[in-house]
Amino acid sequence: MERRRFLEIAAAAGTASMTALAGCAAGWAGRRSADGDARTPTDSVAGIDLPVPDDQLVRAVGPDTIAAIVEPAFAEDWTGLDPDGVSDPTLPDGAPVVGVERDGEARAYPLRVLDWHEIVNDDLGGPIAVTHCVLCGSSVVVERIVDGAETVFGVSGLLWQEALVMYDRATESRWSQLLATAIQGPQTGERPAVVDSTLTSWGEWRAAHPGTVVLLPPPDSVPIARPDRTHPYFRSKYNYEGEDQLIGYDADRPDAVDIRTLVIGVVDGDAARAYPFDAVRQAGVVNDQVGERPVVVVVAPDGTLVAYDRRVGGRTRTFREAGDRHIRAAGSRFERTTGRAVDGPHRGSELVRANEYPPMFWRGWSNAHPETTVYGSVV
């Protein structure tokens, strides 16, 4: 079956209500420092002075109109759920999910739920917030620690640079998902620690994490307040006709970067590079260098992009294809999805992830990293 464009998410969302627009996030810059602490506050970010003035914020909807989930519930699958009278309440293997693994525990957060609620406040190896943007095709997971204490993040209903602005209940500061930074309020300049996450399909995530559980839709999971609209969690919000087609993106013009081209980005120091889906697919395996970091980028079996540091056994390696599910270097085959070596001298070891954030649209990556280079083209 021919892969359906990831662009259709945005095309359909563009005709939806303004509520959907309030969740658009374009990218992030927050991360842990080398010693594991969140970055220190700053009075500017990406060349923008903080705090952001009120006249740069646009009110799309009211606070909590898009209701973040505050009491998530999980199960092995969606079998047996029937909150809206749907006759086939299952989560297909091809359904996109954001996967998180911490302290040996794995959880999946389906986009079918995130499309409606945009933020899931959870506790997995500590308090985290799982977020996703429909229009930008981006997802991010952060630790929800503000001013040294656990808090709850909600959707403010405001947009900044056409991107989601969150708020925290503890200080009522406003946070840009675009830059993972507080842009107004007492926490201005603070950046939460970013948690590793994966945008993949439910089937691939479950196969790689047999003990995983998956987020259940309301009423099992409880939002801040239930909005006054229907939640077709068991149908595609935009009538996708099979979510198994939503992970990859086929560009019409492989020599150009459309704003909604799916890319995976790698940063090392001041160097940043984006790898468009179509260019990586055509190359098969991309062996590259970003700053001082040697990287390998490939398409995983579910159709999403993955990037790893290509140093194995203390040496930089050149990878090549080894079927649809593996790549090979240094005498071992490595799973594309997890980076785990399945045979040879390095069996059991894992490649280090080179990307901090899952794949997102070019618009998001380029907004967060305006000086980025692009593999396979010049921007």
Residue closest to 217 by CA, chosen among 58, 75, 333? 75
Is the pLDDT assigned to residue 21 strictly greater than 80? no
pTM of the shown model: 0.73
> What is the per-residue pLDDT for 38?
45
Four-point Cα dihedral 314, 317, 323, 326, nearest 10 = 30
What would the pLDDT profile of 29-63 be if each residue is shown by its tens digit? 333 333 344 445 667 766 678 999 999 998 888 89
Sign of CA dihedral 338, 321, 96, 258: positive
Contact 284, 298 (CB under 8 A): yes
Q: Domains for the chain: give ranges and CATH numbers.
A: 7-243 (no CATH), 262-374 (2.102.10.10)
pLDDT digits (tens, 9 = 90+) for 191-204: 999 898 988 889 99
| CA pair distance 365, 24, nearest whole angstrom | 13
Question: How far is 258 from 354, CA to CA, in rounded Å?
Answer: 24
C-alpha angle with apex 276: 327 to 291, nearest 5 degrees?
A: 75
The number of helices, as runs of H, and strands, as runs of E, in the chain is 6, 32
Which of 171-180, 184-193, 240-249 has the largest mean confidence? 184-193
CA distances from 361 to 192, 237, 264, 371, 372 (A): 22, 19, 8, 16, 14
| Calpha distance 83→219 (Å, rounded) | 7
- Residues 196, 143, 201: CA angle, nearest 5 degrees: 40
Q: What percentage of the chain has pLDDT greater than the value 90?
A: 49
At 298, the pLDDT band (50, 70, 90 cuts) reads very high
Read off the pLDDT band of 23 (50, 70, 90).
Answer: very low
In this prediction, residues 89-97 reach a mean pLDDT of: 83
The one-letter amino acid at 284: G
* Mean of pLDDT over the chain: 79
| 312, 298 Cβ separation under 8 angstroms | no
Which pair of tokens denotes residue 295? 């990287």
Q: How far apart are CA 101 and CA 117, in angstroms?
A: 21
Q: What is the pLDDT of residue 228?
A: 46
Q: Which two tokens stand for residue 179?
A: 């830059």
> Parallel, antiparallel, or unpaired for β 138-143 and 96-102?
unpaired
Lowest mean pLDDT among 72-81, 244-253, 330-339: 244-253
Q: Where residue 11 falls among pLDDT bands split at 50, 70, 90? A: very low
Burial class (CB in 10 A: 0-12, 13-18, 19+), 234: buried
The first and second tokens of residue 377, run together, are: 């083209």
Using only the alpha carbons of the chain, give its radius of gyration: 20
Which residue in the block uniquely carries the two structure tokens 């998902």?
177
pLDDT at 276: 93
**Residue indicated by tokens 């799916």:** 262
In this predicted structure, the answer to whether residue 249 has a pLDDT above a threshold of 70 is no
Asked if pLDDT for residue 274 goes beyond 60, the answer is: yes
Q: Give the pLDDT mean for 362-371.
A: 79
**Edge-first strand listing for the sheet containing 194-195:** 194-195, 138-143, 127-133, 119-123, 69-71, 222-223
* Of the candidates 191, 259, 165, 196, the residue with the CA atom closest to the CA atom of residue 45: 191
The set of residues, in sequence order, having a beta carbon less than 8 Å from that of 282 and lying 6+ positions away, is 254, 376
Average pLDDT over residues 178-190: 90
Q: Are 254 and 282 in contact (CB under 8 A)?
A: yes
Paired residues of 251 in beta bridges: none
**Strand 174-176 and strand 57-59: pairing?**
unpaired
